[in-house]
Amino acid sequence: MKRDFLKIKDLTEEEIYKIFDLTKYFKNLRKYKKITEHLKNFTFGLLFSKPSTRTRISFEIAIYELGGHSLYLPSETTQISRGESIKDTAKVISRYLDGIIIRTYSQEELEEFAKYADIPVINALTDLYHPVQILCDLFTIYEKKGSLENLKITYIGDGNNVCNSLIEGCDLLQIEIRISCPSEYMPDEKVLKNIKNKNLLKISENPEDFVEDADIIYTDTWVSMGDEKERERRLKVFQKYQINNKLLKKAKKDFLFMHCLPAHRGEEVTDEIIDGPNSIVFDQAENRLHCQKALLVFLFQNS
């Protein structure tokens, strides 16, 4: 039976830790420039409707270093851009490929694609979720801290797809998560409604509320892809949510700063923070490669 990965809760807690073990294995292996045959003779499509740096590069290299092949498929070069139905596209692509990695706008369209595809579908970002990013981020925290127990993660900024997946991931792994967002840019209501461990989630409009005892402080861009028309308004609303030395003056000395990138320096974060000693943003970005290798092997060797 095929396994899709459309949201972080498509995995169990036990499965996430299995993927973390595989991630450590592949990260160590890469030191020796080893190419494996885990996905030998597998071919994957990367169907992308949105621009990408880390997601495209990390998936293409991951597939290559696992012995597989990848095809980059910008959606504007496919018949989807001319009105072919998702159903027909999914059925045809299933005849050619072993798996499909999709980066698009609508979560509903992604789920429709998975419904009709006979091959595993991986969500490489939608407007609602960014599960591969958060899976890799949780591994990075696990790697740096040695455990995910008794941690407090504070997210400050836009309640966007990254925030939604972070909330779901923390709920799944029973991690205390605190969110500081403007009232009009809160996380998705359905995501909040479906949280099981509601005692571990706190939400505030005040960016200072959850800084002092945070082990992890996380932010993301204020203007995501598709939000460009709101740019000027968003910059005004989010101004007090900027991660800077003033906001973090009461933070723990050993807090870790995370950002999924790309960063808009001088907007959601200042250079002094993102380039400072507490920042792990580039370790976070590197781990996209290792963790996505582990995810691919997990999904395709258990399908």
Q: Is 130 marked active-site?
A: yes
Listing DSSP states for 1-53 in one string gives ----BSSGGGS-HHHHHHHHHHHHHHHHHHTTT----TTTT-EEEEEESS--S
- Pick the catalytic residue from 288, 290, 291, 292: 288
Q: Is 21 marked active-site?
A: no
Q: Is 103 marked active-site?
A: yes
- Pick the catalytic residue from 4, 38, 133, 163: 133
Listing DSSP states for 274-293 in one string gives HTSTTB-HHHHHHHHHHHHH
Strand order in the sheet with 69-74: 69-74, 43-48, 99-103, 121-123
Strand order in the sheet with 201-204: 201-204, 176-180, 152-156, 216-219, 256-259
Spatial distance between the Cα atoms of 131 and 152, rounded to a whole number of angstroms: 20
Give the list of residues 6+ apart from residue 81 with CB closer than 8 angstroms, or none: 75
Spatial distance between the Cα atoms of 197 and 174, rounded to a whole number of angstroms: 7
Report the DSSP beta bridge partners of residue 123. 102
Q: Is 288 marked active-site?
A: yes
70, 46 Cβ separation under 8 angstroms = yes
- Pick the catalytic residue from 220, 242, 290, 292: 220
- Pick the catalytic residue from 103, 178, 234, 259: 103
- Pick the catalytic residue from 130, 178, 259, 290: 130
- Pick the catalytic residue from 107, 260, 284, 290: 260
Q: Would you name the residues annotated as active-site residues? A: 103, 130, 133, 220, 260, 288
